[in-house]
C-alpha cells in the first residue's frame, strides 16, 4: 500500500491537484456560499482542459517537463489580479500594457522551455513531482481548516448582527429618501484635493438642507460603508466582500423600518434583505461562481465587458428614472427610498453638460485627466439632484438625505484621510433643533437619528 502511494505521488499529478487547491482556497474564503454543483462542474472543466493541455505539451516539450508550461499558464490566468497587485497596480487600475507584458513573458518562458528541452536530456523528475504534489496536498488541508475556522467566526459575528434587529422605533409618518452618490467627496475634500468649489452647497442650503461638512464614513469601501449604514453604525468590517454581501442581505435596518411602518424600496445594485437589486452593476461577487472566478483573467474580461460607458450610463439613468417615478407616486404608507447612483464613480460617463463620453481608459498615472473627468461627472450628478428637487416640490415634505458613501480613493491623492470624508446633507421638513444632527460623527448614525424623527418630522 505504502509503495503504491509513493509511486502515485511521484507522478506529475500537480497540474490536477493545483485545480483542487484553487477550488478549496477560493471556497474557504467564504464557505456559506459554497455550491456543490458549481464546484463539481468547475473542477471537471479544469481537469478536462488541463488534460488536453498536458497532451499537447507532451508532444511539444516531452513527457518529463509537460506539466510545467501548463501550470505556468494556469497561474497567469487564475492569479492575474494578484500578480498585478504584486507589481504595484490597484484592482481598479490595471492597465492594458500589464496584460500585454505578462502574457508576452509567459509565452516567451514557455517557448524557452520548449527550446531548452530539446537540447537537454530529460532529467529525473520523480523527486520534483513528489515535492510539489505533497506541498499541494498539505495546502488543501490548510485552506480547508482555515475555511472551517472562518465559518465558525462568521456564525458568531452574524448572531451579533441579528441581536440588533430588536431595535424598536415610533411609528413613522414621513417618507425618507436617501440618495447615495457613489464616491462623492465632501466639499472640503473637493476644495483641498481638486481645487473645486462645490456649488451644490449653496443650492441645498437655500432648499432648507442642513449641510454636514464634518460627517465621516466608517469605511473607504462602498460595500462596507453601506453595510455600516444598514447595521446601525456597525464599526466592525466584514471579514471579506463575500461576507459583506451576505450581511447586507440579512441587515438590521430594514426590519426596524418595517416595524415602524415603512415600506422599503431598493433602487441599488445590492440585494438588501428580501428586496432585490435593480441590476448587478457592481463588481462584487454575488454567487459562488463569481466568488470562484474573482481575481482571474475570466472575471477581469467580464468586468471590462460589463462596464462600458453606455451600459453604466443606461443603468444610472434607469435608477434616476425609477427614483423620479417612485417619488411622484402617492402611497398611503410611509416609504424608505434607497437610491444608490454610481456618480461620480468611474467609469466617467458624461461631462458637466451631460454629453455622453466615449469609452475612456485611464490608469492611476493620469492625474490631470482623472481630476477633470471626476469634477465634470460630479457636476453632472449635481444637475440631476437639482432637477429632481426642482421638478418634484413634494420632496419638501419628505426627509431627504444626499450623501456619498466614501471619498475618492485615487492613488495620486496623498491625504488618505479624505477617503473617509463623503458629502452629506439632510433635509427634515419643518422646524427642528439641528444641534443633534450636527453632533453625529458618522454617516451610518443617520438611520437611528432619522427613525426617531420621522413621526411628524420637524413639527
Q: From start to end of 51-205, where are the E strands?
A: 176-181
Number of folded domains in the chain? 2
What residue numbers bound the domain in which 23 lies?
2-153
In this structure, are 447 and 321 located in the same domain? yes
Residues 11 and 62 in one domain: yes
pLDDT band at 36 (very low <50, low <70, confident <90, very high): very high
Whether 420 and 280 share a structural domain: yes
Final residue belonging to a domain, choices 153, 181, 203: 153
Burial 112-142 (b: 16+ CB within 10 A, else e): ebeeebeeeeeeebeebbbebbeebbebbee
Same domain, residue pair 136 and 20: yes
Whether residue 299 contacts residue 45, with contact meaning beta carbons closer than 8 Å, is answered with no
Asked whether residue 238 falls in the same domain as residue 348, the answer is yes
Report yes or no on 458 lying in a domain. Answer: no
The answer as to whether 168 is a domain residue is: no
Residue pair 149/160 in contact by the 8 Å Cβ criterion? no
- 401-430 per-position pLDDT tens digit: 999 999 998 888 888 999 999 999 999 998
Q: Please, which pLDDT band fits residue 161 given cuts at 50, 70 and 90?
A: very low
244 in Cβ contact with 459 (< 8 Å) = no
Mean pLDDT of the chain: 88
Alpha helices per DSSP H over 276-332? 288-293, 297-306, 309-328
Given this model, what pLDDT does residue 405 score?
Answer: 95
State what percent of residues in the chain have pLDDT above 70.
89
Evaluate whether residue 344 is within a structural domain: yes
Q: How far is CA 413 from the centre of its chain?
A: 21
Q: Which of 103, 124, 153 is the last residue of a domain?
A: 153
- Which pTM value belongs to this model? 0.87
Residue 159 confidence (pLDDT): 41
Structural domain includes residue 163: no
Q: Domain holding 351: CATH number?
A: 3.40.720.10
Q: Kindly report, residue by residue over 94-140, the tens digit of the pLDDT.
A: 888 899 999 999 999 999 888 877 666 556 677 888 889 999 999 99
| Domain co-membership, 35 together with 180 | no
Q: Are residues 76 and 10 in the same domain?
A: yes
Pair 60, 180: CB distance under 8 Å? no
Amino acid at each position: 500500500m505504502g509503495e503504491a502511494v509513493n509511486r502515485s505521488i511521484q507522478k506529475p499529478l500537480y497540474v490536477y491537484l493545483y485545480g483542487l487547491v484553487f477550488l478549496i482556497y477560493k471556497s474557504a474564503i467564504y464557505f456559506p456560499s459554497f455550491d456543490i454543483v458549481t464546484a463539481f462542474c468547475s473542477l471537471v472543466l479544469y481537469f478536462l482542459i488541463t488534460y488536453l493541455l498536458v497532451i499537447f505539451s507532451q508532444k511539444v516539450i516531452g513527457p518529463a517537463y509537460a506539466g510545467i508550461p501548463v501550470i505556468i499558464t494556469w497561474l497567469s490566468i487564475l492569479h492575474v489580479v494578484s500578480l498585478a497587485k504584486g507589481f504595484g497596480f490597484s484592482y481598479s487600475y490595471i492597465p492594458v500594457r500589464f496584460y500585454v507584458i505578462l502574457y508576452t513573458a509567459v509565452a516567451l518562458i514557455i517557448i524557452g522551455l520548449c527550446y531548452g528541452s530539446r537540447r537537454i536530456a530529460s532529467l529525473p523528475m520523480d523527486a520534483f513531482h513528489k515535492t510539489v504534489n505533497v506541498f499541494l496536498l498539505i495546502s488543501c488541508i490548510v485552506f480547508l481548516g482555515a475555511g472551517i475556522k472562518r465559518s465558525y467566526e462568521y456564525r458568531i459575528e452574524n448572531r451579533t448582527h441579528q441581536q440588533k434587529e430588536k431595535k424598536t422605533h415610533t411609528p413613522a409618518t414621513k417618507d425618507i429618501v436617501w440618495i447615495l452618490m457613489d464616491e462623492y467627496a465632501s466639499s472640503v475634500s473637493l476644495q483641498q484635493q481638486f481645487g473645486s468649489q462645490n456649488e451644490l452647497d449653496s443650492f441645498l442650503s437655500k432648499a432648507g438642507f442642513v449641510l454636514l461638512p464634518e460627517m465621516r464614513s466608517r469605511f473607504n469601501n462602498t460595500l462596507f460603508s453601506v453595510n455600516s449604514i444598514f447595521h446601525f453604525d456597525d464599526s466592525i468590517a466584514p471579514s471579506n466582500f463575500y461576507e459583506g454581501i451576505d450581511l447586507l442581505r440579512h441587515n438590521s435596518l430594514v426590519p426596524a423600518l418595517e416595524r415602524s411602518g415603512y415600506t422599503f424600496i431598493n433602487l441599488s445594485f445590492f440585494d438588501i434583505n428580501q428586496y432585490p437589486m435593480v441590476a448587478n452593476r457592481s463588481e462584487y461577487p454575488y454567487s459562488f461562481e463569481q466568488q470562484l472566478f474573482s481575481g482571474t483573467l475570466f472575471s477581469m474580461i467580464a468586468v471590462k465587458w460589463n462596464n462600458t460607458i453606455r451600459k453604466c450610463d443606461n443603468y444610472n439613468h434607469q435608477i434616476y428614472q425609477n427614483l423620479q417615478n417612485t417619488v411622484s407616486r402617492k402611497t398611503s404608507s410611509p416609504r424608505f427610498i434607497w437610491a444608490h447612483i454610481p456618480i461620480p464613480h468611474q467609469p466617467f460617463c458624461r461631462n458637466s453638460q451631460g454629453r455622453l463620453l466615449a469609452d475612456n481608459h485611464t490608469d492611476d498615472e493620469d492625474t490631470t485627466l482623472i481630476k477633470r473627468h471626476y469634477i465634470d461627472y460630479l457636476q453632472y450628478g449635481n444637475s440631476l439632484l437639482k432637477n429632481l428637487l426642482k421638478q418634484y416640490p413634494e420632496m419638501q415634505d419628505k426627509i431627504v438625505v444626499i450623501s456619498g458613501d466614501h471619498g475618492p480613493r485615487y492613488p495620486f491623492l496623498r491625504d488618505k484621510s479624505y477617503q473617509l470624508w463623503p458629502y452629506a446633507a439632510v433635509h427634515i421638513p419643518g422646524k427642528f433643533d439641528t444641534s443633534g444632527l450636527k453632533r453625529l460623527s458618522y454617516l451610518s448614525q443617520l438611520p437611528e437619528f432619522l427613525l426617531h424623527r420621522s413621526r411628524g418630522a420637524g413639527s
